[in-house]
Chain A
Amino acid sequence: MHISDGVLPISVTVGGYIAATALTAWSAHRSNSRDLPKLAVVTAAFFVASLIHIPFGPTSVHLLIPGITGALLGPSAFLSIGLGLLLQSLLFQFGGLTALGANTLMMGIPALICGWFFHKFKGDSMMRQTITGGLVGAGGTAMAAIILAALLFTGGEDFLGVAKIALAAHVPVIFIEGLISAFTIRFLARVKPELLELSFKDPAKDTHA
C-alpha cells in the first residue's frame, strides 16, 4: 500500500524527501558507479515483479518484495526501490509524488535491513537459505507495514484508526510474501545461486569478504 498525495503533514513529506535523498546518495555511493546503468535495468525487473497479483480468497494482493530486493541487491536496494517507486508514481499513480520520500523510506529501510539479515544468516545449505529467504520476505513486509502505520500516525491521533486498519490489512500479505520469498529464494539457489551473492557490491569497499 503506497501513501498518496495530501495525506501526510507537510513537515513529514519534506523530511521524508530529505532522509530518502540522503539514503539514496549513500546507496549510490555503496554501489559500484559503473554498475548504475545495470542497476537501473534490474530495477525494471523488480518493478514488473511487484505487479504480480496473488489471489487471496475473493480479492487479490500484489507483492511488495522489499525482502527479495534487499537480499539480491544489498545496499543498492534502497536506490533501486526509490527509482522503482518514482516510476510507479509517475506511470500508475501508485503513491503520490509529494509522498515519494516517505514511501521510499517505508520500503527502502526494510529492504536494507533484510539484505543485511539475509547475507548474515543465509549460510551455505539450500534449506537454510530458503528459511532465511522466507523470514526476510515476511519481515520486510511487516516492517514496511509498521512504518506505514507510523507515518500515518504522524498526522495526529485522528489518524490512529486508519493506521490500525492499514496495519491489519497487511497481515495476510506478510504470510503470502514470506512463503513466496522462501520459494523464490529456493528457486534462485537451485537455478542461479550466484544471484544470491551480492552482484552489485563494490569490490574495493568489500571489507568482510
Chain B
Amino acid sequence: MLDITNIKLPLWQLPVFVLIPLAVFALAVFFLKRFAYKRSIPTEERDWSVPPIADAIYDSVINRWDVRCKIVTILAFSFAIASLKHLTPALFAIGISSLVLLISRTSFTKALLRLLAIAGFISMFLIVMPFSVPVHSNDTVIIFGKMNWLVFNLRGLLLAATIAAKAVAITLLMEPLLSTAPLPVTLHGLSKLGVPEMAGQMVLLSYRYLHVFRHEARRMSSGMQVRGFRKHTNIQTLRAVANFLGMLLVRSFERTERVFDAMRARGYKGRFPEPAELHLKTSDLLITALWLAAGSALIIFDRIICQG
C-alpha cells in the first residue's frame, strides 16, 4: 500500500499556485534581461585578452589571492556543491557564493547576465519535474479539482528547486573565478597546475579571434540587412543563413592562414611570454583551507544531518 498524502484543491486554485508564479517568474526574467542588456551594451563585452592598464581595478582579497589556489579552490568547491542532494545545504551554498561575489567586488550585472543565461534551462526543470516525477510512497501530491491526470508532486518541486539552487550557487562563483584576474594570468595559473601549455594558448587564441569573427559576422549581417534581407520562417531564410555561415567559415579559414603565417613570421615557436610571476604566500593557502573546510562542512551537513 502506497503511503501518499493527497491534498485536494479546487480547480480555481490551479492558476493561483502554478500559473501565476510561472508568469511572475517569466516577467521577472524578461525585465531583468532588458535591464542587464541595457547596462552592458554601452560598454560591450570586455576583452580580457587586452591586459589592464592599471592594477587598480583588481583590488580585493580574491584578486590578491594566488591564481593557482583560486582555481583549485573554486573548482573543488563547485564540485562539492554539485554533489549536494538536499535543498538546505544548497541554499547555504548560495549564501557562501553571494558572500564571495560581494567580497570579490566583481560586476553584479555580469553575474546577473550569467544567471539569466541559465534561467531557461533551469525553469524547464522547475516546470516539468513537479508534474513528471513518478509518485512514490511518502510523497505529497496536490490534485486540482477533478483533473486526476495532472498530479502536482511536491517531491518533484523540491528536487527541481535543489537543482536550481545548486546551479545558481555555482554560477555565482564564475565571475569571482574569471574576472578577478586577466585571462592570460588565469591560464598561466592553469598551466602551472599541470594543464598542457598548448591548451591554455589555444583558449587564448580562440578567445582573441572570437571577437574578431564576431565583428566580421556583424559586418556581414548588416550588409545583408542593407540589401533588404529579413529573417522569416521559410526556406529562403535558411538558404541565406547557410550562405552566410559558409561565407563566415571561408573568410575565417582564410584569415586563420594569414594569422598563423604572421605569428610564425614573428618567431612564434609554440610559446607565449609568461604574463606574470606567481608567488605562493601562507595567506593564500589559509584562504584555500578555510574555503575547502566550508565545502566539506556543506557535504557533511548534506550527507549526515539532512539524511536524518
Contact = CB atoms under 8 A, between A and B. Distances in A.
A167 B107 CA distance: 36
Contacts of A91: 45
Given A4-B122, A41-B260, A86-B203, A56 B233 contact: yes
Interface string B60-86: 000000000000000100110111000
Contacts of A90: 174, 178
A152 B257 CA distance: 40
A180 B249 CA distance: 14
B213 A55 contact: no
A48 B217 contact: yes
A135 to B, nearest CB: 15
A13 interface: yes
A8 B121 CA distance: 13
B4 to A, nearest CB: 16
A33 B197 CA distance: 13
A4 B122 CA distance: 8
Contacts of B252: 41-42, 44-45, 48
B248 A45 contact: yes
B157 to A, nearest CB: 12
Given A90-B178, A161-B131, A5 B206 contact: no
B293 to A, nearest CB: 19
Given A48-B213, A179-B238, A37 B79 contact: no
Contact of B237 (A33, A38, A54, A157): A54
B238 A41 contact: no
A96 B129 CA distance: 20
A6 B242 contact: no
B253 A4 contact: no
B239 A183 contact: yes
B245 A5 contact: no
B205 A49 contact: no
A83 interface: yes
A187 B248 CA distance: 11
A68 B113 CA distance: 29
Main secondary structure of the interface of A (DSSP, over half): helix
A57 B129 CA distance: 26
Interface stretch (A111-119, A120-128, A188-196): A188-196
Contacts of A195: 249-250, 253
B290 interface: no
Interface residues of A, number: 70
Given A5-B166, A41-B255, A97 B249 contact: no
Nearest to A169: B124
Contacts of A92: 114, 117
Contact of A54 (B128, B217, B238, B259): B238
A28 B196 CA distance: 11
Interface string A37-77: 11111111101110110111100000100001000100000
Interface of A: 1-8, 10, 13-14, 28, 33, 36-45, 47-49, 51-52, 54-57, 63, 68, 72, 83-84, 86-87, 90-94, 96-98, 157-162, 164-166, 176, 179-184, 186-188, 191-192, 195, 199
Interface of B: 45, 75, 78-79, 81-83, 90, 113-115, 117-118, 121-122, 124-125, 128-129, 131-134, 156, 159, 162-167, 169-171, 174, 178, 198, 201-210, 212-214, 216-217, 231-233, 235, 237-239, 241-250, 252-253, 255-257, 259-260, 263, 268, 270
12 contacts: A6-B167, A8-B82, A45-B209, A52-B217, A55-B232, A63-B245, A86-B203, A96-B167, A157-B133, A183-B238, A183-B243, A183-B246
